[in-house]
Amino acid sequence: MTEQRIATRRVSLDPAVFAVAAGTLFGLLLLRNPVTFGRVVYERGDFAANSVITADAKHFDLLVGNYSRLGFHHPGPAFFYVQAFGEWLLYDLLGAVPTPWNGQWVALLALNSVLLALVLSVVHSWTASRAATALCGAAMILYFATQPAILASAWMPNLYVAPFLLLLTAAASVAAGRVAHLPLLALAAGLLIHGHVSFLLFAPVLSGAAVVASLWTGRPAWRESGVAVAGAVAVLAVFALPIALNLLLHWPGDLLRYFEYDGARATPAAADVARYVLRYYASSPPLGALAAAAFLGSAAFLTRRLPAGPPRRFLTAAVCAAALATILFTGYVARAVDDLRFTYVGQFTRAIPLLLSLVCVAAAALRPGAFLSSLGRRPAQWLVTAVVIGALGVGSGAPALRKLPEHVPDMPEVMATLDRYTAGRPAVVDVTQETWPAFTALVVHGDRMGPRVCARDPWWEFMVTERYICTPDDLARGRSVRLTPTAPEGATLITPVDEAVLTAGS
């Protein structure tokens, strides 16, 4: 069979591969997190702040993303429409989960599973080997099992890992000539740009490099790619719509803040930048440097050993995508991370060593004369099955695949006490900086259980939206309370809440 016929056959993603991968990953996450359906979760902190805008998404009123600690909102609401759908379907409609947050959480677990299944489907479309794809899936599970909790987490920095892996994989596929995968590249880029302003750098550069490489090496493929280009444009249009509407309705919105996004107050030392970049490979810089060199070197070496053809072309492009992403991230750390103590900022780059791991596994499995091919078909199938089952066994017991969101178990009692104190009137809250996680919890659960909770200081609008800033009517009718880490001397205690206390205001 010629390379052209192989390429034509593999353009489409295999629905069976996608369904098995997505179902297995989703099932594994639910197995590790049975609390999604069985435990009441009353969110706090960032999770509660996200629930504030998820409520807007349920009514199709949300046009912005999650808040930034720098005082603005990230570009788009895509993740929150996913959460809103989960809350509506599983809590409002089916009553399958005990609280709204549980529905949001299940939806995010499903999103991660789908994105990772798309990655494996792209890999399979190039390798045409279910054995190699299954081994890549096993490697993926083992990788996440040894990392900090990522897949089961609903925290925004962790949610960028799966779409960034898809961005790198789809970029490699497009660069290698698979123009049909442009919509996947657009999907990953759109999700990331909606999630964080920093991806206004990473997504266009990586996507643009993939398109340029594809044009440079495969113009005939582009002549037959009208459907793929139209699909990518449609996907990008969906992601661009809320951003455009927000600019039209609230010009200039946060647009100027995005162009000014340049957190570094002073250029950090090269050693500090290197230490920051390498920490996503290992905890110490020497081990991180060794691990990074091993990942990149092994992927390049094993790919080089493959015979010329589609798999080698794709895996080579994947190595290049990982290298380019590392270069971009190094420049980003040097220029735009205002405090290198904030390690969560680069969490998404854990996708880079994972991609290199998948390249190594696929290249090793496909190499002529590899161990699998020497076993014969039936023994090889049994070995692959054993490896996958072993990986699932490790994953089913891995602490890293289990994560309970931050929450306040006694929130109903807190809200009942506050409601009695305010006699049903709005609670006008004076908030200290340290108590913001408790404040967002009060806002969300006040909306669900009563009474209304609002901030006296308009500065908190970036976190809880204008809806929960006290209006003149709130100030006139409401009852003042203070939220502080500890009760001030002589203050009347209303109730403890989370790691703070509510006391009577003046």
Local confidence pLDDT in tens for the 506 residues of the chain = 344 444 444 467 999 999 999 999 999 999 999 999 989 999 999 999 999 999 999 999 999 999 988 888 999 999 999 999 999 999 999 999 999 999 999 999 999 999 999 999 999 999 999 999 999 999 999 999 999 999 999 999 999 999 999 999 999 999 999 999 999 999 999 999 999 999 999 999 999 999 999 988 766 566 667 889 999 999 999 999 999 999 999 888 887 777 776 654 678 899 999 999 999 999 899 999 999 999 999 999 999 999 999 999 999 999 999 999 999 999 999 988 878 888 899 999 999 999 999 999 999 998 876 666 666 667 778 888 999 999 999 999 999 999 988 899 999 999 999 999 999 999 999 999 999 999 999 999 999 998 999 999 999 999 999 999 999 999 999 999 999 999 998 899 999 999 999 999 87
Question: Alpha-carbon dihedral of residues 299, 300, 301, 304, nearest 10 degrees?
Answer: 120
Domain assignment of residue 487, given as a range:
411-504
Domain boundary at 345, 374, 401, which? 401
Tokens of 442: 């009060």
Are 344 and 429 found together in one domain? no
* All residues at 6 or more sequence positions from 474 whose CB lies less than 8 Å from its CB, including other chains: 426, 428, 452, 454
Q: Do residues 380 and 237 both lie within one domain?
A: yes
Note whether 55 and 188 are same-domain residues: yes
Residues 122 and 255 in one domain: yes
Residues 388 and 463 in one domain: no
Task: Please answer whether residues 173 and 11 qualify as being in contact, where contact means their C-beta atoms are separated by less than 8 angstroms.
Answer: no
User: Residues 427, 391: one domain?
Assistant: no
Do 13 and 39 reside in the same domain of the chain? yes
pTM of the model: 0.94
**Which residue, among 355, 356, 372, has the nearest Cα to 364 in the 3D structure?**
372
| CA–CA distance, 25 with 110 (Å, rounded to integer) | 9
In this structure, the answer to whether residues 376 and 280 fall within a common structural domain is yes
Overall number of domains in the chain:
2
**Which of 357, 382, 401 is the last residue before a domain boundary?**
401
CA angle 36, 46, 162 (to 5 degrees): 65
Q: Are residues 457 and 372 in the same domain?
A: no
Cα dist. 175→166, 169, 219, 280 in Å? 14, 10, 12, 26
Torsion sign over Cα 430, 436, 440, 441? negative
Strand 500-504 relative to strand 493-497: parallel, antiparallel, unpaired? antiparallel
Give yes or no for a contact between 395 and 468, defined as CB atoms under 8 angstroms apart. no
Q: What are phi and psi of 214, to 5 degrees?
A: -65, -45
332-353-275-193 Cα dihedral, nearest 10 degrees: 20
Cα–Cα distance, 367 to 402 (Å, whole number): 36
Is 122 within a domain? Answer: yes
